[in-house]
A = this chain, B = another copy of it.
Amino acid sequence: MTVQKGQPSTAPRDGRDDGLALESFLPFRLVRAAEQVSRRFAALYRDRHGLTRPEWRTLANLGQHGRMTATAIGARAAMHKTKVSRAVASLERRKWIERTTDGRDRRIEHIELTPEGRRNYLDLAELARGFEARLTAELGPAGAAALDRGLTAVEAIDQL
């Protein structure tokens, strides 16, 4: 059987130049790698404290930077403002954070860890450092260095 002009068959085209090899397609590989790593790390803080990813990221930012507004958290954590809003509400219910309305501009809320929140942040930070160390070890020195440079290149892109 021969493929006719203008009547493409539905047979596989692996390797043909009009198709696509998904397993080497960069966006696919990037997402799959991110999901693989992220799921494993997320399982750690989920099992330990029942945190979601937006909550973990919010906590991590507050632990690192101290008092912040919700907008600032969203910018640093690359999260949609609704995610931040819900994560902050949840962490407040846990009493891991406190809000204070700004005195001059009452739209703004300053968010801050409570002592309990900080304790849990430090605990999770240690968990994170350990995870990253194991990950880096698995990647090997060359692999880890390459990934770092590759991600730096992606981070430098602001438009496609």
Contact = CB atoms under 8 A, between A and B. Distances in A.
A95 to B, nearest CB: 13
A8 B64 contact: no
A105 to B, nearest CB: 22
Contacts of A13: 63-64
Interface of A: 7-14, 18-23, 25-38, 40-41, 57, 60-61, 63-66, 76-78, 112-115, 117-119, 121-122, 124-126, 128-129, 131-132, 134-136, 138-140, 142-144, 146-157, 160
Report the copy number of this chain in the oligomer: 2
Nearest to A147: B150
Given A20-B60, A146-B146, 12 more contacts: A8-B122, A12-B65, A13-B63, A14-B65, A19-B122, A22-B76, A26-B135, A26-B151, A27-B37, A27-B132, A34-B35, A142-B149
B147 A154 contact: yes
Nearest to A34: B34
Contacts of A78: 32, 35
B128 A20 contact: yes
Q: Chain A interface mostly helix, strand, loop or mixed?
A: helix
User: Which of A7, A119, A125: most chain B Cβ within 10 A?
Assistant: A125
A128 B18 CA distance: 11
Contacts of A147: 26, 30, 146-147, 149-151, 153-154
